[in-house]
């Protein structure tokens, strides 16, 4: 599965009232492994950021004045996102701005151009009801290092979101033996390690093993007078085909 973790920074909170995108960050993950094939755009919005927004992202109009307009980066962005599962934290906010920008250029809404859209805020609320589920709160809860996040930045936030997502879905957690002891005895300690660099082999059974497995199933089936679950499912499947 190809996933793109996406974040935006904007001039303010309301696309309907004329606020615009000023930064887009995208991080690619393929089969739950970061690829390094990321995208990062600064965008000239043609207007100033609100004071409160500027305090959040720190991106000034002076810095953005020589950056491209959204229409100049739209083709590259859409080609990059095409066919991906796009993952966003608080998706309605970012989608509102992206769809507004795309609509100005005559493009359809983003959800019609990508495979799917996943909202990690919705996921987090289901897992941690009643708790704070901002990106910073999830980083703290899931031990994701966000010490470099003094200001919001789209690419950094997309990178943090990818780490948060892996922890939310528990895709790379394992138990390791800790050689430390308590009262002279060994103990188990849960630790997180990144398995993205490992290629785990797939071991296929041979004909002899398949035959032995089938023999065991036959013996169990015989002992239960043909009432095993798998036989009933086989019979039901055969009846549905006739």
CA nearest neighbour of 2 among 173, 202, 162, 197: 162
CB under 8 Å to 242, separation ≥6 — which residues?
Answer: none
- Three-state secondary structure string covering the chain: CEEEEEEEEECCCCCCCCCCEEEEEEEEEECCEECCCCEEEECCCCCCCCHHHHHHHCCCHHHHCCCCCHHHHHHHHHHHHCCCEEEECCHHHHHHHHHHHHHHCCCCCHHHCCCEEEEHHHHHHHHCCCCCCCHHHHHHHCCCCCCCCCCCCHHHHHHHHHHHHHHHCCCCEEEEEEEEEECCEEEEEEEECCCCCCCCCCCCCCHHHHHHHHHHHHHHHHHCCCCCHHHHHHHHHHHHHC
Q: Please confirm, yes or no, whether 89 is among the known catalytic residues.
A: no
User: 167: number of CA atoms within 13 Å, CB side?
Assistant: 19
Catalytic annotation, pick one of 40, 89, 152, 213: 152
Euclidean distance between CA atoms 242 and 240, whole angstroms = 6
Active site residues: 152
């Amino acid at each position: 599965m190809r996933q793109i973790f996406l974040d935006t920074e904007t001039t303010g909170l309301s696309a309907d009232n004329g606020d615009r995108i000023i930064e887009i960050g995208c991080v690619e993950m393929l089969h739950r492994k970061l690829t390094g094939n990321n995208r990062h755009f600064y965008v000239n919005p043609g207007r100033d950021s609100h004071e409160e927004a500027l305090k959040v992202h720190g991106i000034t109009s002076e810095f953005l004045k020589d950056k491209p307009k959204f229409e100049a980066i739209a083709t590259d962005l859409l080609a990059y996102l095409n066919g991906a599962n796009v993952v966003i934290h608080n998706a309605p906010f970012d989608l509102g701005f992206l769809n507004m920008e795309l609509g100005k250029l005559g493009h359809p809404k983003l959800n019609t151009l990508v495979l799917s859209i996943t909202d990690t805020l919705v996921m987090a609320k289901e897992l941690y009801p009643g708790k704070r589920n901002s990106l910073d709160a999830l980083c703290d809860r899931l031990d994701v290092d966000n010490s470099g996040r003094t200001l919001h930045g789209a690419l950094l936030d997309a990178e943090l979101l990818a780490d948060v997502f892996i922890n939310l879905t528990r895709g790379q957690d394992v138990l390791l033996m800790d050689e430390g002891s308590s009262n002279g005895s060994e103990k188990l300690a849960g630790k997180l390690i990144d398995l993205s660099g490992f290629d785990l082999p797939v071991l296929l059974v041979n004909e002899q093993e398949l035959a032995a497995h089938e023999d065991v199933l036959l013996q169990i089936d015989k002992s239960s007078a043909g009432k095993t679950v798998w036989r009933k499912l086989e019979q039901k499947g055969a009846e549905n085909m006739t």
